[in-house]
Structure 1
Amino acid sequence: MDYQLAKGVKLHIIPSSQFRLTNIVINFSAMQTTNNATARHLLANVLETSCQKYPTQTLLARRLDALFGAVVSANVARVGQIHTLRMRAQVVNDRQAQTALLMPLINLLRELVFRPLMNEKGFDAATVAVQKKSLAGSLAAINDDKQFVAYQRLAQLFYDQTSPMYYPSYGTSSDLDSLNGGSLVSAYRSLRDEDQVDIFVLGEVNTKKVRQAFAKWPFRDRQPLAAIADYHQSFHHRLRQQLDSDDIEQAKLDLAYHLPVYYRDPGYYPGLVMNGLLGGTPYSKLFLNVREKESLAYYADSQLRAFSGHVVIETGISANNYQRVRSLIEQQIRQLQAGQFTSEQLEEVKQSLITSYRVGLDNPLNIIEHRLVNELSGHPELFNVPEAVGLVTKQEVVAVAKQLKLQAVYYLGGDVDE
């Protein structure tokens, strides 16, 4: 059930008696630029912690406790080249609680979105200072996660530096330094008045009352996004490689392959299965041959990045195995391209993907995420994913695998012999 509250603002109600909790996601979407991610991340942290009516985290927490321990949070993410700020809320459904909780929670969310803790100079300076310090700590912690560092540096090798995809969706420490309560105002006004907004309510709810409640929110018309989530990175003919030294026990070797296959296009489901055979399931070549059989990796997996046209392979290895692991990974790619996998392996991978998809439907946030991704990419909802995966043929998998072209290699760890 979809309703338009204003131009560029939609309410999506998903009635369901499957869950004890009612879930709400308010998603604000804008195109990511080279410099807007950090401000939006800090803004998310500020919006989730206070508002005019509840100016401290303590007061806000007390109000949530009064709603049977309702939870409100905010974060940022990226769908292709679309940057999203998401406010999430959960509350026990009214039938289970035997009292009205959903409408008070919707009213509280309205306070957080439309009446944040601001004055004539901007956002409350003390609140911003606290959240800025917290975000700085989070960004510093990311740099301590060597697997994540390797993944991000691989992305920066794969993408051109002029691309917004070169910059992480969670922002950077250098951009954070210049932000304050005054500079956050423009980011907030852009979010409130210009972002595409998709509101999802999933649970055992009165559809009419939910619609009436959100219809009172003072949204202005804005220009919807033109379903341009996909980012098409041009193929570059020169392999980009970077080897960084770091005294870590477990070295990281990551590779990025260009693959012009995008979400829900004709090659998407064959691409999912190909990735499952390569490194995306426990039945994959990387897991069975690189990690288990040869014992050359602590972990070895792959991910299909279906909004940016590439496949990422991540491994944790010993530095002295660098060349052997690279060679073995390339061998697995060649085997896929040559169709060197059995019908039984193909079916195992397909069933693993179908099972994972069905298990995901037991999580309300996964259901909302699936709906949101389709909304942002302009695809209809009525689609049988298990059937589409089950119909993938060996020939289709091989055809997709043959399109894999190595674009970037990143290594972090002890010295290696090239």
Structure 2
Amino acid sequence: MSRISSRIAAIAPSATLAVDSKAKALKAAGRPVVGFGAGEPDFPTPAYVIEAAVEAARDPRFHRYSPTNGQPALREAIVAKTKRDSGIDVSVDQVLVTNGGKQAVYNAFQTLIDAGDEVIVPAPYWTTYPEAIALAGGTTVDVFAGPEQGYKVTLEQLEAARTERTKALLFVSPSNPTGAVYSPEETAAIGAWALEHDLWVITDEIYEHLTYDEAVFTSIASATPGLEKVVILNGVAKTYAMTGWRVGWMIAPADVIKAASNLQSHSTGNVSNVAQMAALAAVAGPLDAVDEMKVAFDRRRKAMVAGLNAVPGFQCPTPKGAFYAYVDVRGALGKEYAGVTPQTSAELADFILERAEVAVVPGEAFGPSGFLRLSYALGDEDLAEGVERIRQLLS
């Protein structure tokens, strides 16, 4: 009899965190590694958010258990923020505060998906989604959209993937890992298709404030009149440089939130009260710090795309959101570099790490081989150095 359950043994480790951990281990050993792996802003959390946490830590009220579904003040602030940013009216009983966005993802699939249910997942996708679906007993039906489509799926592709077992569509815009942003018209059309076929839509909106050029964030919930079967996933991690604070949330019909809260009560209970008070300051506060970070991300985005497109065999579309570049490296595969001939993007990523000391995430983590994801949420100098090392290695 196996020591580990088959359910847990079947889970693949997070590829993005694995790359980041390996890069940090190499740096700790003295190697000058540049890490493009983790999707983590290099900025500090805004000072006013930190001050709110310090004050909360001193207040005995926050030294005790609190409601599983979240501090009432934070949930009310999330209601107001959702109206402000997405134009959606929700009530407090439709909000569950979670331990980061990942728990919101886990809760959503555990609450909605039964064994045998299918979830349509546009690919390339964030590495956690298929594992969370599998843990719920569901089946991921991935629909791949390549760079020639701007990494955006079409209605025809979605319809071809739909079966009588399809229960939900996962919709992510802006996208991790590609940076693709669906237009308001594209978003509305996909929402109408889901509504027509009575599907749940689980929409991850954690990159909502990070769009560039002409791209605009559009919530599928606001773009689709009558769409009641929708779950919105979000959090403070990316927008406010708060990845380590672990505060996310899900918004859904009240019965779904009640069930998800019941699940959370048996897993983690309430999110840290100090972190919740920090999140309250972030969500209820101004977006000035966010706008400042966005200026830096935009500058780095342009520099990264230009640098990657100068690498032989690389083709990098310009991302319109988030802080990732998803580069097509199929033209670089099967070629010999210093006695090594990478055949897959995983092999190429290993080669780049070992020879150039640059950490990137291979496309196998997000769907088909042949691509690399690089985060540009790091300093300008490191970004330029890392991209130049790749260019020199592969030239």
Please tell me the TM-score bracket, short chain as reference.
Answer: under 0.3
Give the structure-1-normalised TM-score: 0.22
Of Structure 1 and Structure 2, which has the larger fraction of its residues in strand? 1
Which structure has the larger Rg? 1
